[in-house]
Amino acid sequence: MDCLRDWPEPVVRVQSLSDSGATTIPDRYVKPQSERASVDPGDMVGIPVVDLAMLTDDVANCEATVTAIADACRQWGFFQAVNHGVSPGLMRGAREVWRGFFHLPMDEKQRYANSPKTYEGYGSRLGIERGAILDWGDYFFLHFLPLCLMDHDKWPALPPALRETSDEYGAALTKLCRRLLRALSIGLGLDAACLPVAFDDEGVCMRVNFYPRCPQPELTLGLSAHSDPGGMTVLLVDDHVTGLQVRKNDSWITVQPVPDAFIVNVGDQIQVLSNAAYKSVEHRVMVNAAAERLSMAFFYNPKSDVPIGPIRELVTCDRPALYRPMTFDEYRLFIRKKGPRGKSQVDSLVAA
């Protein structure tokens, strides 16, 4: 893909802008008024919290939990998972090694500078449009599966525990996602293996986001409104700095993270497979003047070269197929070229 060979403009690390001590942000980060975030003091509702303690591998026998997950995915597209089985020590350790990475000297991080072709490595923008307004965040993107894409040499060598901790974290979250995917299948009235079969094989990757302190947080966003293009996302957020907002009808709800919980959300591929029973919901990230924020978005995706369309059992006379099939490889080119654009991409799949 030639047009994805390189960034259209020199890359500027947001962390360098933040560290420069400037009291204003460059114009390139100033969002139009309509996109800027605000906190609605009246918003007291939160996304649902679901206890996964009873969700065993035998998901067919966990009806109450399956119902709670499915309701959350139908109504919100988001929930916080507690008692998910991943050790809090591993979660803390993963956050610590990645925070350590972003605090290394710039030269060390630049060794992993990424390109728009694969996105693997240290990056500071999403999308390759010249002159685009950018988000106030840096990130590191890496692959776990398929194994042919997993390359430890592309992961940071420092801090020393990063590779081993990330491996362990990736294995634990993959296991959790497998359980959740089976539960989502049953929640659709299907066999537990139905969504896993439609995924064919797993694509697993992670985007660790680092949002440096921002002198004018009200003018910009850490990550613009988007829905996640893949299957399902399991997000580990900062333990003391909030920032994630989720769209509910016409308002934005600020997520108040429950300690040691994961935030789980449906991505576009599961919206498509479920023929819109489950919703891939828009979300965005606010930044802040007082504190930096770190989050780890773990993406559990279908095999990238099989066409993904609504599952046959879910297509009926009353509810015809809403989307035309497309491979995930083709699908994700959109966000890789254009950057975050709300839900415009999944809407563009709507069958004529």
What letter does residue 299 receive in the DSSP assignment?
E
290 CB burial (10 A radius; 0-12, 13-18, 19+): exposed
Per-residue contact track with ligand OGA, 163 to 202, x per CB under 6 A?
----------------------------------------
209 binds, among ligand OGA, Ni ion, none (CB under 5 to 8 A by kind): ligand OGA
Task: Please state the separation of Cα 239 from the chain's center in Å.
Answer: 17
* Continuous segment of H or E residues that includes residue 176: helix 162-187
Piece of 9-17, 140-148, 225-233, 304-312 that binds Ni ion (CB under 5 A): 225-233
- Cα 43-45-48 angle, rounded to 5 deg: 145
Out of 17, 47, 236, 237, point to the residue binding ligand OGA (CB under 6 A).
237
Q: Taking the complex as a whole, how short is the minimal distance between the CB of residue 297 and ligand OGA, in angstroms?
A: 3
57 CB burial (10 A radius; 0-12, 13-18, 19+): exposed
Q: Taking the complex as a whole, how short is the minimal distance between the CB of residue 141 and ligand OGA, in angstroms?
A: 10
- Separation of alpha carbons 201 and 45, rounded Å: 37
244 lies in the binding site for ligand OGA (CB under 6 A): yes
DSSP 3-state of 343: coil
Contacts of 168 (CB under 8 A, 6+ apart): 90
270 lies in the binding site for ligand OGA (CB under 6 A): no
228 lies in the binding site for Ni ion (CB under 5 A): yes
Q: Taking the complex as a whole, how short is the minimal distance between the CB of residue 193 and ligand OGA, in angstroms?
A: 27
Binding to ligand OGA (CB under 6 A) within 285-304 occurs at 285, 295, 297
138 lies in the binding site for Ni ion (CB under 5 A): no
Identify residue 111 by its one-letter amino acid code: R
Out of 84, 125, 279, 283, point to the residue binding ligand OGA (CB under 6 A).
283
Identify residue 200 by its one-letter amino acid code: D
Q: Taking the complex as a whole, how short is the minimal distance between the CB of residue 226 and Ni ion, in angstroms?
A: 6
| Residues of this chain that bind Ni ion (CB under 5 A) | 228
